[in-house]
Homo-oligomer: A and B are copies of this chain.
């Protein structure tokens, strides 16, 4: 792959990544692949579930009455409802989550963290936090941490199906 010519291209010449952009992108891909893998393994070993399932339990634990509507949970976790359905089915089989009907909307379901699920979280959270610390925060300066936060916030924002004000489109 070569870089685009300096002169004005006749047809829309694709704008490749510069050498520096390529380096950045490659680093991102490598780090995120390794990190996701590392945390998946850590949690599979210590908590018997992949990283994203653990994240679901955390979201529930942080929510009022330790419960969330399926759609709300899917949105918070940035996954599809389909994927969530499968995941909750599995967590339910483990006894860590149970489903409850929503009284005000007969289509709706709550995912509710069970006592047992909360227990798993309490037991495994320290180890997981330690893993995150060791892989990420211990290695970055305060400035880098702040920078990482802002960068990721920007990227996430650009990819959202338009979270804030989505139901108030005329305000935009």
Report A's interface with B, CB cutoff 8 A: 1, 14-17, 20-21, 23-25, 27-38, 52, 55, 61, 77-79, 125-126, 129-130, 132-137, 139-140, 144-156, 158-160
Known contacts A17-B137, A139-B155; can you find 18 more A-B pairs with CB under 8 A?
Answer: A1-B125, A14-B129, A15-B133, A17-B129, A17-B133, A24-B148, A24-B149, A24-B152, A25-B132, A28-B149, A30-B152, A34-B78, A34-B155, A35-B155, A37-B78, A38-B159, A135-B158, A148-B151
Q: For residue A126, which residues in chain B have a CB less than 8 angstroms away from its CB?
A: 14
Q: Is the CB of B151 within 8 A of A144?
A: yes
Given contacts A24-B145, A24-B148, A150-B144, contact A156 B34 (CB under 8 A): yes
> Which of B20, B27, B35, B140 makes the CB contact (< 8 A) with A159?
B35
The complex places the Cα of A155 from the Cα of B130 at a distance, in Å, of 15
Q: Is the CB of A79 within 8 A of B33?
A: yes
Q: Is the CB of B20 within 8 A of A153?
A: no
Q: Is the CB of B23 within 8 A of A149?
A: yes
The complex places the Cα of A153 from the Cα of B149 at a distance, in Å, of 16
> Which of B16, B52, B152 makes the CB contact (< 8 A) with A28?
B152
